[in-house]
Chains A and B, each alone.
Chain A
Amino acid sequence: DVKVTQSSRYLVKRTGEKVFLECVQDMDHENMFWYRQDPGLGLRLIYFSYDVKMKEKGDIPEGYSVSREKKERFSLILESASTNQTSMYLCAAGDRAGNEKLFFGSGTQLSVL
């Protein structure tokens, strides 16, 4: 199975800091996704990418940007972190050829103080 690795399990940042969340997958999958998950709101799609240097906005892109310079790495960037971005962030990778079943990382719990 695909392994999706997120760089940190827990992260604490201060308001206004620039935050990078890194995600790496090891199976050469074309598609990668970033979600956030909050109690009562479920999983919400922030950004996704179907190829290197390509990105598409999800349902809640405001306050975030992404970078995909290499196929295996998809980074989520919080340009100026705010307290309402405290959340669990989940990265996923999917293979077009395999009907795109998604494989998820373990998540990064980000706290912005």
Chain B
Amino acid sequence: DAKTTQPTSMDCAEGRAANLPCNHSTISGNEYVYWYRQIHSQGPQYIIHGLKNNETNEMASLIITEDRKSSTLILPHATLRDTAVYYCIVRVVFDKVIFGPGTSLSVIP
């Protein structure tokens, strides 16, 4: 079973920041938080991951709370091409990767 809880769907206005939350209250000390997204009819795409520090790359920022029980993926300036299903995954490195239902993000013009 997936170890995370995400909203089923969200909307975001084009050009605004998209903030996607994820709860992982049972996360253990050696588990990382990974984010992937899946654009319609394509395979999932890796976005970012982190252990306890906040992370940023060219695609997004990942904010992890101090107690590590939740995190937020931030797309700073959402575009129509960011419309996708976003998956938050918690796992130990080398463990199998289990996807939950994710959040369907719609970016509205």
Q: Do A and B bind each other?
A: yes
Which A residues fall within an 8 A CB radius of B? 4, 31, 33, 35, 42-45, 48, 50, 56, 58-59, 90, 92, 94, 96, 99-107
Q: Could you tell me if A106 and B97 are in contact, using CB atoms closer than 8 angstroms?
A: no
B21 at interface by CB-CB < 8 Å? no
CA distance A59 to B96 in the complex (A): 10
Interface presence of B29 (CB below 8 A)? no
CA of A103 to CA of B45, assembled, Å: 7
The residue on B at minimum CB distance from A47 is B96
Given A33-B97, A100-B94, A101-B34, residue A107 in contact with residue B46 (CB < 8 A): no
- Binary per-residue interface labels of chain B (83-109) against chain A in the complex, 1 for a CB within 8 Å, 0 otherwise: 000000000011011111110000000
Residues from chain A with a CB closer than 8 A to the CB of B94 are 31, 50, 96, 100
CB distance from A61 to the nearest CB of B (A): 12
Chain B residue with the shortest CB-CB distance to A103: B46
